[in-house]
C-alpha cells in the first residue's frame, strides 16, 4: 500500500463531516489514524476558513459543510466544495430550507 494519499487530511476530514454531520472528533481521529488534537485542529481550520459551520447540539457538535463555497485552490476556484464532495463521496449539495445555506447532504 502507498504511504501517501491524493487527498490532504483536511479534505478527508471534510468528507467524513459531509458523510456524517454529527461525527465525533474521536471518530474522525480513529478513521484517519490521527490524534484527536489533530482532528480538532483541522475542524478549527475548516470552521475559521468558513467551509464548515459548527453548531452545538446538546453535548455534541454538528457540522454543516458550506458546499456552495469555492475551493481554496487558486487553479480550481470555478469548482465548489459541494461539487468535489459529490464527485468523491457521492454526496449531494443541497440547500437547507430553514437557513437558506447550502450544505453537503448525507
Domain count, the chain: 1
With cell 459551520, the residue in question is 53
Q: Please check whether residue 47 lies inside any domain of the structure.
A: yes
- Return the CA Rg of the chain: 13
Q: Please tell me the pTM assigned to this model.
A: 0.74
Q: Please check whether residue 3 lies inside any domain of the structure.
A: no
Whole-number Å distance between alpha carbons of 106 and 93: 9
* Domain of 55, in residue numbers: 9-104
The CATH number of whichever domain residue 87 belongs to comes to 1.10.10.10
Q: Please check whether residue 76 lies inside any domain of the structure.
A: yes
Q: Is residue 29 a contact partner of residue 16, using CB atoms and an 8 Å limit?
A: no
What string of pLDDT tens digits covers the 106 residues of the chain?
567 878 899 999 999 999 999 999 999 999 999 999 999 999 999 999 999 999 999 999 999 999 999 888 776 657 788 887 888 776 554 433 344 454 444 4
Q: Please check whether residue 1 lies inside any domain of the structure.
A: no
Amino acid at each position: 500500500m502507498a504511504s501517501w494519499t491524493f487527498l490532504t487530511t483536511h479534505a478527508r476530514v471534510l468528507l467524513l463531516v459531509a458523510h456524517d454531520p454529527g461525527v465525533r472528533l474521536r471518530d474522525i481521529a480513529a478513521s484517519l489514524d490521527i490524534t484527536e488534537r489533530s482532528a480538532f485542529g483541522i475542524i478549527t481550520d475548516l470552521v475559521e476558513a468558513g467551509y464548515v459551520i459548527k453548531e452545538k447540539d446538546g453535548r455534541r457538535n454538528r457540522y454543516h459543510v458550506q458546499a456552495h463555497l469555492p475551493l481554496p485552490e487558486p487553479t480550481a476556484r470555478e469548482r465548489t466544495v459541494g461539487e468535489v464532495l459529490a464527485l468523491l463521496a457521492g454526496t449531494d449539495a443541497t440547500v437547507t430550507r430553514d437557513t437558506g445555506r447550502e450544505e453537503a447532504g448525507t
